[in-house]
């Protein structure tokens, strides 16, 4: 059994996710300059981000089925190359329509990239190390939000928004080359096939018989509800944190930076050795997110330090949710449904942005925690009734 993570492969895949998240959010980082350059209102430029998410949701499954059976490294590298081309088209776009076309192609490529990278990450490591591997790769995505977007904004202010998109194209090409040269191959298992569990030594408890796609789809649905609550509240974050932000240097920008750093801490914490307790850790992170969202409603009258603490808790808890949820979905899928699970994940995380206010958002997230905890208890009772051990890969 492998005892160390394949760090070069995971770091390169993390760099790929850094590029993709930076690409997704880039129009928001250069919003005034891009709007002026294309001669459109800022609201239309902002649609380039929401349209991106919609394309990812629609395109991921068909594209994954189209490339089924191909070397995932080649698929990821090709998707990055297409992203580079789409970014260059956007950088050179004479009109808004050209920019929208470039973004649409790039979003489809990123949907395929996320699906392939998710599945490849799971194939690269034994099951016991899956949580850590997922956290490493998603760490790149977190850095894309915390570092990539602000850096792009600086480039746009110092030079031009088109330079920022040109730099993104160069980064995507470099990442594509790194994927081909560095990322290790992995066994390919098409959906519906089976192979021996790589979880650990022969003495380790074995997993229960295949329960079909039901548990994977149930968890995916619950996490989707969670994300509606989280992202819905985050849509109004600048208004929600105005009061406590006054206590920090930089005001709202400083508090948002704190949130980003806290999210990175949450991702790192999710990479801990939870083993069979992944679902329990996800329940804890979900409950903490719900509590933080509920507390947001009272920030205007609370002391500033309380508001800062609530935002930090929200960042850590919500930052831990994606790697924990992704790990759980991939484990429930197993090797036989890894491609399907890989495609579900980008659809899940791009389909959750619906506007919700803090208290309704907290209620949605709390309901998710109840559902996740109930699912774990139901499987434990079933295992006790059949005399079989509780599955360790959850």
Rounded to whole angstroms, how far apart are CA atoms 83 and 59?
14
CA distance 121 to 135: 10
pLDDT on residue 66: 95
- The share of the chain scoring above pLDDT 90, in percent, equals 53
Alpha helices by DSSP H, listed for the chain, are: 7-29, 31-38, 42-66, 72-92, 96-124, 130-143, 149-158, 161-182, 214-234, 237-240, 242-245, 252-270, 278-296, 304-333, 338-350, 358-386
Give the pLDDT band of residue 292 (cuts 50, 70, 90). very high
Considering the chain, what is the average pLDDT of its residues?
85
Q: Which residue has the higher pLDDT, 310 or 253?
A: 310
Q: How far is CA 129 from CA 52, 55, 208, 270, in A?
A: 32, 32, 19, 12
pLDDT tens per residue, range 171-214: 999 999 999 999 999 865 544 444 444 444 433 334 445 667 88
Highest mean pLDDT, choosing among 201-210, 360-369, 382-391: 360-369
pLDDT at 235: 64
Residue 204 has a pLDDT of 38
Distance separating alpha carbons of residues 233 and 221, to the nearest angstrom: 19
Four-residue CA torsion sign, 134, 139, 140, 141: positive
And the tokens for 98?
Answer: 């050209």
CA distance 298 to 296: 5
**227-231, 263-267, 318-322, range with the lowest pLDDT:** 227-231
The span from the CA of 34 to the CA of 155, in Å, is: 12
- Distance of alpha carbon 357 from alpha carbon 340, whole angstroms: 32
pLDDT for residue 39: 96
40-66 residue pLDDT tens? 999 899 899 889 988 998 999 999 999
Q: Which of 337, 371, 338 is nearest to 134 (CA)?
A: 338
Q: Taking a C-beta distance cutoff of 8 angstroms, is the pair 34, 27 a contact? A: yes
According to the model, what pLDDT value does residue 291 have? Answer: 94
The CA distance from 317 to 133, in Å, is 19
Q: Which residue has the higher pLDDT, 366 or 54?
A: 54
Q: How confident is the model at residue 104 (pLDDT cuts 50, 70, 90)?
A: very high
Q: Residue 55's pLDDT is what? A: 94
Average pLDDT for 278-297 = 92
With bands split at pLDDT 50, 70 and 90, how would you rate the model's confidence at 9? very high
Half-sphere exposure for 223 (CA within 13 Å, toward CB): 28
Q: Per the structure block, which two tokens stand in for 66? A: 């189209």
- State the Cα–Cα distance between residues 268 and 55, nearest whole angstrom: 29
Instruction: Give the pLDDT mean for 156-176.
Output: 95
Cβ contact 15:173 at 8 Å: no
pLDDT at 187: 62
pLDDT tens figures, 294-327: 998 888 788 888 999 999 999 999 999 999 999 9
pTM for the structure as a whole: 0.82
pLDDT surpassing 90 at residue 117 = yes
Rounded mean pLDDT, 321-339: 91
User: Mean pLDDT throughout 231-245?
Assistant: 78
* Structure tokens given for 266: 């949450």
Tell whether the model's pLDDT for residue 140 goes beyond 80.
Answer: yes
pLDDT recorded at residue 206: 40
Question: Which pLDDT band, with edges at 50, 70 and 90, does 16 fall under?
Answer: very high
Q: What is the pLDDT of residue 356?
A: 54
Question: Cβ distance 372 to 282 under 8 Å?
Answer: yes
Asked if residues 87 and 106 have their Cβ atoms less than 8 Å apart, the reply is: yes
């Amino acid at each position: 059994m492998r005892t160390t993570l394949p760090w070069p492969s995971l770091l390169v895949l993390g760099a790929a996710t850094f590029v993709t998240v930076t690409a997704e959010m880039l129009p928001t980082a250069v919003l005034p300059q891009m709007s002026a350059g294309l001669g459109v209102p800022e609201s239309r430029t902002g649609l380039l981000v929401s349209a991106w998410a919609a394309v990812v949701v629609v395109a991921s499954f068909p594209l994954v089925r189209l490339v089924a059976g191909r070397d995932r490294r080649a698929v990821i590298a090709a998707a990055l190359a297409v992203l580079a081309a789409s970014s260059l088209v956007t950088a050179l776009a004479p009109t808004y329509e050209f920019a929208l076309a470039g973004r649409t192609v790039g979003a489809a490529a990123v949907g395929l990239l996320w699906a392939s990278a998710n599945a490849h990450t799971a194939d690269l490591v034994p099951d016991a190390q899956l949580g850590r591997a997922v956290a490493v790769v998603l760490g790149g995505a977190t850095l894309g939000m915390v570092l990539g977007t602000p850096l792009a904004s600086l480039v746009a202010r110092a030079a031009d928004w088109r330079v920022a998109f040109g730099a993104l194209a160069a980064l995507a090409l470099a990442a594509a080359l790194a994927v081909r040269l560095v990322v290790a191959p992995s066994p390919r298992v098409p959906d519906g096939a089976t192979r021996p569990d790589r979880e650990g030594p022969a003495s380790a408890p074995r997993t229960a018989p295949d329960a079909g796609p039901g548990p994977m789809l149930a968890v995916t649905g619950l996490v989707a509800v969670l994300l509606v609550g989280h992202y819905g509240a985050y849509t109004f974050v600048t208004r929600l944190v105005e009061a406590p932000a006054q206590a920090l240097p930089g005001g709202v920008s400083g508090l948002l930076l704190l949130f980003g750093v806290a999210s990175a801490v949450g991702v790192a914490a999710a990479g801990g050795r939870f083993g069979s307790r992944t679902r329990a850790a996800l329940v804890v992170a979900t409950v903490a997110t719900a509590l933080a969202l509920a507390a947001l409603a009272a920030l205007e009258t609370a002391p500033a330090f309380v508001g800062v603490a609530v935002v930090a808790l929200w960042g850590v808890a919500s930052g831990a949710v994606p790697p924990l949820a992704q790990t759980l979905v991939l484990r429930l899928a197993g090797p036989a449904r890894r491609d399907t699970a890989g495609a579900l994940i980008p659809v899940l995380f791009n389909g959750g942005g619906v506007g919700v206010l803090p208290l309704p958002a907290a209620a949605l997230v709390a309901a998710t925690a109840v559902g996740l905890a109930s699912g774990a208890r139901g499987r434990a009772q079933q295992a006790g009734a059949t005399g079989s051990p509780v599955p360790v890969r959850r």
